[in-house]
């Protein structure tokens, strides 16, 4: 599988990768990467059609594996057989890129402190403290 990567400032960034799988196994690996990605993907189909949207599910088992995508320009979902996919590009902004568990915990602690301070101020204003 050839993989073109636009290198960004963050190590391990998937945004911008383009997968051109040559085998069924490489396609399955590319689909897993796209499924784990938290942004939109662009699928180039063997027919020449391009589908851009959010890959929300894949059914890799059975006689005909499929992708389930919410296309950007269409209402509802679209089901695309794996065999119809020529390339997969991770084109949309990864909504969780650069965010870490530690940053989330810090943000939540800050919110809790602010809420506690507000509750204390309200209690003082009512004469409870």
Instruction: Find, among 19, 22, 65, the residue nearest to 41 by Cα.
Output: 19
User: How high is the pLDDT of residue 129?
Assistant: 79
Q: How far apart are CA 42 and CA 51, in angstroms?
A: 6
The residues facing 58 across adjacent strands are 67
CATH assignment of 2-89, among 2.30.30, 3.30.565, 2.60.40, 1.10.10: 2.30.30
Q: Is the pLDDT of residue 7 over 70?
A: no
Summarised one tens digit per residue, pLDDT across range 77-128 is: 999 999 999 999 999 887 766 666 677 678 888 899 999 999 999 988 988 8
Q: How far apart are CA 24 and CA 81, in angstroms?
A: 12
Q: How far apart are CA 102 and CA 95, in angstroms?
A: 17
Do residues 83 and 76 make contact, with C-beta atoms less than 8 angstroms apart?
no
User: For residue 62, what are its two tokens?
Assistant: 């059975």
Domain segments of the chain as ranges:
2-89, 99-129
DSSP annotation of 82 reads G
pTM of the model: 0.65
């Amino acid at each position: 599988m050839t993989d073109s990567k636009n290198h960004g400032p963050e190590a391990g960034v998937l945004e911008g990768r383009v997968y051109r799988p040559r085998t069924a196994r490489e396609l399955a690996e590319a689909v897993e990467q796209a499924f784990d990605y938290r942004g939109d993907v662009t699928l180039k189909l063997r027919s020449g059609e391009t589908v851009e949207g959010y890959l929300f599910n894949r059914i890799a088992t059975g006689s005909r594996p499929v992708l389930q995508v919410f296309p950007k320009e269409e209402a509802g979902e679209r089901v695309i057989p794996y065999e119809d996919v020529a390339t997969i590009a991770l084109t949309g902004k990864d909504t969780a890129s650069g965010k870490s568990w530690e940053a989330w915990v810090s943000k939540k602690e800050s919110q809790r402190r602010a809420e506690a301070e507000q509750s204390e101020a309200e209690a003082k204003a009512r004469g409870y403290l």
